[in-house]
Amino acid sequence: MDKSKAPPLQSLSLPSRPLTSHAISWSCDAELAIATLEGIHIFLPEYPRNSSDGEKPPSERYATSPQFPLFIQTSGSLRPDPAINAQLCLFAGVRELPPPPPPPGGADGAGGFPGVGSGPITAAGASLGQIIRVEWSPSGLGSNLRPVLAALSGHGAITCFGEYVDLCKGGSTTTQVRSFKNWRVLWGLGARLPLPMFGAERPAQLGGDVAIMNERITAFSWAKEILPGRALLAYETDDADVVVMAVQFYSRDSTPDEKGWDIREVARFDASGPHVAKDALDPDFASSSSAFSLKWSPWVTHEGKQIAALSYIAHNHVGFRRVVLEDFWKQGHTPSIKIEDHDMKGICLSLSTDAFLEWENISWNDDGVLNIRGIIASPFILYPFQIPVTGSLSAAIPPHTTRLCSTTYPSQEVPTNPITGLIIHHADPSSKPPAPHYSLVRQSCTATNQDWFQTTLPEDVMPIPQWAEDLGQRSVRQISLTRALRGKDIDSDDSDSDDMDGEQDAPDRDRLDTEGPGIGAVADGDVQMREPDVSERRVHPRRFRLWGLAASPGDGCTAAVVSKYSTQHPSRRDRAEVMFGWYVPGEVEDEVAGEKTIPPPPPPPPPPAKATTEARVWEWMYGRGPEVPGTTTAADILPLASSLNSLRRQFRDVLPRIRCVFCDTAVREQGAEAVCEKGHSFATCVSSGMPIMAPGISRVCAVCGLRCLQAAELHKLAKEHLGHDVTLDMHAETCGGCGGKFIV
């Protein structure tokens, strides 16, 4: 793979702006999702690859197009239809779903949403169902081990989207690039959606073996990756309950050709916080709701158990509840989860609406105690913190008023520009900084408000992102008021002619007319100046609003969602833009030799502990990451696979026994292909080295583009040539050459 063939990372145009902050989410496979007023925009990345058989590789078809050539837009309003969970219930053995609830007020017509929750408005179904928040799951919860996308709507429901390939029907193996052909609405939670019962009691109306979830979900968060096909999802209800759900995607031994989801509740606790609730008419009452109030910390391993902290934000309080995965989570079984009766630690702070929290990606061992750090955003002020996830619990905080802990009002001056996006950069395990390094964006970017972007990273480690430099220049640029009032340069890109016009107007900006009606004589002999002409005034024509900030899986590049507005006219266009920042090596001039050289890049950020091949390839293209073995040319992949893949060693003596399906002659290996004595050539399975002699028995890797025989075909060959009791050492769901995920 040639790095120069990587598609250029250019800005993405969106037809509408987001509804809330934190509107962007980047998956573990470098897929992007942005929630806007018109729906969710999902972008799939493209990886450049080389071809060994003379055919044009798929990446060359996009040589002139920027990155993310494939995208889809969902509906802007999601209705919690019970049919969403039909496949979920069918996999659990429930054949018939309960009838849908009647529409509100007994009105006629199918599909009415009667509302859910404890509020007088939400219980009447008043929401339009717009998207409030999106977040990708860990790897493995969708087909081909891909992540799935969860979206929270105003109805109080979580709707999950992703790829689903029906193994019973089979999939086309001729596809060479990814597409949205197999994307589906997979399942949903809350808002009167049916959920199969597994013996756990929950406050719901029973309908046979199905529970009708009479809960309005206000926030949710995915836990970090535990095991492939298994994850924990936490959500909060409007009754201040936090519920932890175990989500699995697997196939049962009895039906290996049928895969489905198993979702069940494993824990629930009260997250109302220690502060005594105030009446809405109280003079000191302040709203504190947030759709981003839940956040999982990274998992740590201690005494054979996996431990994480689940943070929740209540009224002027941040609580941390310890979650312990006590035993190995066997697929298809309920995990053994232990959640403490009270918070392991609590912090009382003066918090406003849309407060949120972010965690650092690693833990620190301080004298045998594992600590995890993070940052709380009020969302106006940052509060770094550190909590121990091992050791004894702190005493529970007794109920009290905010006046007692002095959090009724902020203890310092509060900025007026809220934080809408925060990234905590990956830390170097060998060097613990005093506080986590972060970058943030605030909501408003104007010429007079230049604190909208802040970072604590040294510039020699990570330069200012391109999108931040671009916005900074565009926000302070000036043109004449006449041009701004005509709407020029408001909805179009900057051009050289615009700058030239501005330079021509600049000398006249402070010019004083000395003749004509502009000067008048007064009694004391002074000269009175007239007001400058409107055409001579200079204004800033643009202002910007930032809706979110996200980092790529390896923290090598960033993306910000921005919308542009005019400072002189009411906003008439409702568009947004996704802008990127990545590492570009710059030239430095040698003062002695007088030559320009490219200095070596600074050390890359530490990769995630369980980074996927897709994430590592992305970081190699745009984020200072090292080259990924197995993703270069086919000639490089095959020797690598031969030396590292034990499955190839198992099938090493099988190839001489294989006969050509056309002429029944012997087959020998020739480079990346297998060729018979009469010249019939076959593609080679990169996992096993066996020739692929029939259609429909192999799968294509989305990263390197090579094929691997399906697991059933490999077991068939092993049974025929190696014996009935042989155990194959293989990973059936990933490519044997580069470790990438399959297209179908």
Cα-flanking dihedrals φ and ψ of residue 75, to 5°?
A: -70, 150
Query: pLDDT value at position 277?
Result: 84
Q: Which residues pair with 245 in a beta bridge?
A: 233, 265
Distance CA 103, CA 109 (A): 7
- Please provide the DSSP assignment of 239-290 as one string: TSEEEEEEEEEEE-SS-TT-EEEEEEEEEEEE-S-SBPPPPTTSTT------
Query: pLDDT value at position 721?
Result: 86
Tokens 């509020």 appear where?
Answer: 119
Distance CA 533, CA 326 (A): 76
For the chain, give every domain's residue range.
645-743
Residues 6 or more apart whose Cβ sits within 8 Å of residue 142: 148, 162, 163, 164, 186, 249
Query: pLDDT value at position 594?
Result: 57
Cα-flanking dihedrals φ and ψ of residue 627, to 5°?
A: -65, 145
Distance CA 165, CA 601 (A): 42
Q: Is the peptide bond before 379 cis (omega within 30 degrees of 0)?
A: yes
- CA dihedral (700, 705, 709, 710) in degrees, to 10, reads -30
Within 13 Å, how many C-alpha atoms sit on residue 232's CB side? 31
User: Please, what is the end-to-end C-alpha distance for the chain in angstroms?
Assistant: 22
Query: pLDDT value at position 458?
Result: 87
Query: pLDDT value at position 79?
Result: 85
Q: Are 579 and 44 in contact (CB under 8 A)?
A: no
Write down the pTM of the prediction.
0.88
Distance CA 146, CA 641 (A): 23
- CA dihedral (57, 60, 66, 67) in degrees, to 10, reads 10
Q: Is 302 exposed, middle or buried (0-12, 13-18, 19+ CB in 10 A)?
A: middle
Distance CA 579, CA 559 (A): 6
pLDDT in tens, 605-659: 666 668 899 999 999 999 888 888 878 655 566 555 554 567 888 888 888 889 9
- Please provide the DSSP assignment of 643-670 as one string: HH-HHHHHTTTTGGG-B-TTT--BEEEE
Residue 149 CA to its chain's centroid (Å)? 8
Long-range contacts of 324-330 (CB under 8 A, 24+ apart): 325/226, 325/299, 329/226, 329/227, 329/230
Quick one: which of 670, 647, 674, 672 has its CA closest to 658? 674
Query: pLDDT value at position 377?
Result: 97
Q: What residues in the chain have per-residue pLDDT under 50?
A: 52-63, 105-110, 172, 200-207, 491, 493-529, 588, 643
Query: pLDDT value at position 523?
Result: 39
Within 13 Å, how many C-alpha atoms sit on residue 20's CB side? 19
